[in-house]
Amino acid sequence: MSILVVGSIAFDDITSPSGSVKNILGGAATYFALAASYFSAVRVVAVVGEDFGPEHENVFRRHGIDTRGIERAKGKTFRWGGSYFDNLNEAKTDFTDLNVFETFHPEIPKEYEDTEFLFLANIQPTLQANVRRKMNGVRLTGCDTMNYWINRTRKELAETLKLVDLLLINDTETKMLAGEPNLPRAANKVLAMGPKALVIKHGEYGATIFFREGSFGIGTHPFRAPTLPIEEVKDPTGAGDSFAGGFMGYLASQTELNREVLKRALFYGGVMGSFAVERFGTERLQSLTREEIDARFQVFRELTHLD
């Protein structure tokens, strides 16, 4: 089945204890699309500048990703620079140049109207809502957001959350959105805003999924998936977007959507996130094989006794 991601394509400068790189291909839509492409057909809606060349587009095309939704605009592609020091879970932003992304208004190609799964990556909530309303035929919609939108556009974000099935955010964002320091209570408050399920990412400590009562089957108990210990984390950038790509990509490959399938998707999300951090940028995601992915998933199964 097909999955559409709407979000950013960027060029990143990254520094970590493992070294420094400049002008590498990044952005939420890039990480998501590459991770999801190992499970299902992927389409992308994003905007790039004149500095985005054939060599960059070929990264998508080599993975069978449909790039007809990538808009070419005059100017430069979105650029971000970040540094990781003692705490690899938190980046210090060195610069953010929105460039053509500043005036991005997603346009959905007619060829994409039959898309069955939709992921709204981290963009302005009103833009997310507009895309969702245009895609009335989707089977399931996932969404991401961040503290910037929670603080500055809470009203608009609340309207977007009424339109999505799954929200994928981290611990801090969950508590901030709910105005509640206790995580389980915060999760229930967020679910009351609209999503049928909430996936809370805990970074190196895995992820937890909370279900709204009556959604995806019987029961309301949350489920926690751990993460795999990685010998060397070179670059945490994009780990969350890669997790989302693995999670949503696996869902899009399934004929049924129930709690067991969503729980299993957490592990595939963790697998893709664990691969992404092993090298800088999207380098590891570009060179993976499905055999490597399934082998690492098997390690998860053995560690957790996943059925």
Rounded distance between C-alpha atoms, residue 187 and residue 74, angstroms? 42
User: Could you give the C-alpha distances from 152 to 110, 147, 157, 177, in angstroms and in order?
Assistant: 32, 8, 9, 11
**DSSP code, position 37:** T
pLDDT along the chain (307 residues), means of 10: 96 94 97 98 98 97 97 97 84 93 96 96 96 95 95 95 97 96 96 96 90 76 84 90 98 94 94 95 96 92 70
The pLDDT of residue 232: 80
CATH number at residue 273: 3.40.1190.20
E-only strand ranges, the chain: 2-6, 10-16, 19-26, 41-48, 66-72, 78-83, 92-97, 117-120, 140-143, 166-170, 197-201, 207-211, 223-225
The pLDDT of residue 83: 94
Domain of 159 in residue numbering reads as: 2-83+91-304
Number of domains comprising the chain: 1
Q: Which residues have CB under 8 Å from 285's CB, separation 6+?
A: 31, 34, 35, 242, 272, 275, 276
Q: Is 130 exposed, middle or buried (0-12, 13-18, 19+ CB in 10 A)?
A: middle
